[in-house]
Amino acid sequence: MICTTPSLLITDDDQDFRETLRGALEPKGFRTLVAGDGEEALKVVRREEVHLVLLDVHMPRLSGLETLKRLHEFRAILPCILLSAQLDEKILEQARLARAFSVLSKTVTLRQITHVVQQALEGTYNWRS
């Protein structure tokens, strides 16, 4: 059970997209952290309490899939949701093998992303909004 406000890490190399998600999720009661790439996301998760990570698949330096694999090396139970503007069967299969909680197309609506975030938090931590 989460005793604090759930913390979400939004990881995307597109600053406008990060800030749009942040602005949409904070009013829903989430604490949001941001990272511009996978390397930065790894550092944030090591120093902050993070309950869920949103990851862009296509980022410089470290892809979302590689970041997810590395996160699970030191945080086995950490739900990660991948986002991709170029979603295909290969990405879906790689995400499944890497134990992503979900994969969403970047045409995602606020309602869709909020629903999946709530499912992940409830399923992982028994947290209900």
How would residue 1 be classed by pLDDT, with cut points 50, 70 and 90? very low
Identity at 125, one-letter amino acid code: Y
Q: Domain of 114?
A: 7-123
Residue 75 lies in a domain: yes
Sign of CA dihedral 89, 71, 129, 21: negative
Burial status of residue 6 (CB atoms within 10 A of its CB: 0-12, 13-18, 19 or more)? buried
> What proportion of the chain, given as a percentage, has pLDDT over 70?
97
Report pLDDT digits (tens) over 98-117: 999 999 999 899 999 999 99
Which ranges of 1-109 would DSSP assign to H, the alpha helix? 15-25, 38-47, 64-74, 89-97
Residue 92: what pLDDT? Answer: 94
Is position 96 within any domain? yes
Can you tell me the mean pLDDT for 70-92?
Answer: 94
pLDDT tens, position by position, 12-68: 999 999 999 999 999 999 999 999 999 999 999 999 999 999 999 999 889 999 999
Please indicate, yes or no, if residue 40 is contained in any of the structural domains: yes
Which CATH number is 110's domain given?
Answer: 3.40.50.2300
Residues 6+ apart with CB under 8 A from 42: 62, 67, 70, 71
State how many domains the chain has: 1
Q: Is 1 part of any domain?
A: no
Under DSSP, is residue 45 helix (H, G, I), strand (E, B) or coil? helix
Tell me whether residue 2 is in a domain. no
Q: Would you give the distance in Å from CA 49 to the centre of its chain?
A: 14
C-alpha 5: how far from chain center: 16
Cβ atoms < 10 Å from Cβ of 9: 23
pLDDT at 53: 98
* This model's pTM is above 0.85: yes
